Amino acid sequence: MDMINGALSKARKVGLISPALSDYPELEGIISRILDRGGTFSLSSLRADRITRSLLEQLKAAGQKSISIAPEAGSERLRLLINKHLTENQIMEAASKIAEVWSFSIRLYFLVGLPTEAMEDVEEIVGLVKKFRHHMIKVARPRGTIGSIKLSINCFVPKAFTPFQWHPMEEVTSLKSKQKWLKKALGKMGGVTVSFDVPKWAYIQALLSMGDRRVGSILLRAHRLGGNWKRALTSSDVNPDFFVYREKDLEETLPWDFLDQGISKSYLAQEYMKALELKTTPVCKVGKCTRCGVCE
């Protein structure tokens, strides 16, 4: 609260941001204190299964107009793959709770190109959004106002120091095809708007994340060409696809292995194999833990 009090002494609005904000047990208490001091706030995305009516009432009282939820994947299979313990029923319950309290604008975040993703998984994004919208309409119709849905659909980018650092990124042409299909399928829904990121920039993200020192020459070339990445890539002797589209062997030395960020490489490999088998890992417990190595 000291940080929040300090922020409120300089500005009226406080941003509450965390990778798992709704898991924090004192969240509603913090919001109450912000409101009591005449402040307001913004939130990062909330877990669908952690949304409560009392929290929604606080958001309404604070004049919040939007809520963000990140299902990440349309299918429960892919949510298991990324270790997101979130069922379709829990997502629909969140839709009903939100619609009961107020006509919030709801932003839903999804990814395409997740490891092992098939077209059926992409189609389930559309099915999930349809059901979500149906639950909102069913609950909010008596009130006469129904909130809108804004979808943000981004390309999955493998990153260093994660379980998917060995997995290749899906090819840009395939990602574009999926985006085109989603745009057409979702464009038929009323009250739903969709935004996509740009696959070619996701490719650059993957290159910068997964490349070794040779990628430095491409980065320098792009700078000298005024940010023209297309020319930088095509004129380079380095093959960027080698870093972006290649599946790596679990035993090979990775460019960032000399860096110690606390989590052991063997643990990440174990989590990668578990993900491919759709075996989930429970959340970290508070206190001493030796599972991944970061607390040792």
Q: DSSP for 216-237?
A: HHHHHHHHHTTS-HHHHHHT-S
For residue 7, the model assigns a pLDDT of 64
CATH of region 45-276, choose from 3.40.50.720, 1.25.40.90, 3.40.50.1100, 3.30.750.200? 3.30.750.200
Q: Between these two residues, 146 and 48, which has the higher pLDDT value?
A: 48
The neighbour count for residue 204, using CB atoms within 10 Å, is 20
Separation CA 133–CA 212 (nearest Å): 44
User: What would the two tokens of residue 218 be?
Assistant: 């491409």
Q: Does the structure show a pLDDT above 70 at 287?
A: no
User: What would the two tokens of residue 54 be?
Assistant: 């009392």
Q: Model confidence over 93-107: pLDDT tens digits?
A: 999 999 988 888 899
User: What would the two tokens of residue 289 be?
Assistant: 């833990």
Q: Model confidence over 31-86: pLDDT tens digits?
A: 888 888 887 888 888 889 988 999 898 888 888 888 999 999 999 999 999 999 89
Contacts of 249 (CB under 8 A, 6+ apart): 166
Q: Residues 175, 217: contact at Cβ < 8 Å?
A: no
Q: How far, CA to CA in Å, does 182 sit from each of 156, 189, 221, 229, 260?
A: 15, 11, 35, 27, 40
Q: What is the largest CA-CA distance in the chain?
A: 64
Q: Model confidence over 9-19: pLDDT tens digits?
A: 677 777 788 77
For residue 60, the model assigns a pLDDT of 87
Separation CA 109–CA 123 (nearest Å): 15
Q: In what order do the strands lie in the sheet with 66-72?
A: 66-72, 105-112, 149-155, 192-196
pTM of structure: 0.90
Contacts of 260 (CB under 8 A, 6+ apart): none
For residue 29, the model assigns a pLDDT of 86
Positions of CATH 3.30.750.200 in the chain: 45-276
For residue 61, the model assigns a pLDDT of 84
Q: Model confidence over 179-229: pLDDT tens digits?
A: 999 999 999 898 999 999 999 999 999 999 999 999 999 999 999 999 999
Q: Does the structure show a pLDDT above 80 at 144?
A: no
Q: Residues 264, 293: contact at Cβ < 8 Å?
A: yes
Residue burial 53-88, b: 16+ Cβ < 10 Å; e: rest = eebbebbeebebeebbbbbbbbbbbbbbbbbbebeb
